[in-house]
Structure 1
Amino acid sequence: MPISAEQCRAARGLLGWSQVELSKASETATKTIADFERGAREPYERTLADIQTALEKAGVEFIPENGGGAGVRMRKRKR
């Protein structure tokens, strides 16, 4: 499931990351992230995967569409 622009923005918010920080973590151009988040363009599948992977490595969990809408949350930490 590719992530949505809304999930991307929410995930950055949970982490307190700027678009520049996500750009560095995902090795994606900042303009690509900005354009995606404002709905100006849909990145390539590979680019979306790189963005999602960077956010997941930082602790974000993506919640699939389940009737209540897709979302994000922080992964539970293991004790």
Structure 2
Amino acid sequence: MLPFVLVLIVVLFVMGFSNPLLWVAAGVLLYIVISSGRGALTRDPEYQQYRERRIRNARYEKRFRREHPHGGGGGGGGFR
């Protein structure tokens, strides 16, 4: 839906050179898209999944750092 609206805004802007009223229509449409689009990203299911995964990973890393305060890799690497 959003790509269609953006293309419509561009078409109205270009056609506005022949009729300036179309610039007003493009401006009004742009205003509606911007004002209604606030928070639209958070309603995107893919973004929700991404955000939940980031929160889970952050919690895991926080817990891991708390349980293994010195890195705890156990690989035996590093200098002595």
Give TM-score scaled by structure 1 length.
0.26
Question: Rg bigger for which structure?
Answer: 2
The structure with higher relative contact order (CA 8 Å, sep 6+) is 1
Structure 2 length as normaliser, TM-score? Answer: 0.25
Specify which structure has the higher proportion of strand.
Answer: 1
The structure richer in helix per residue is 2
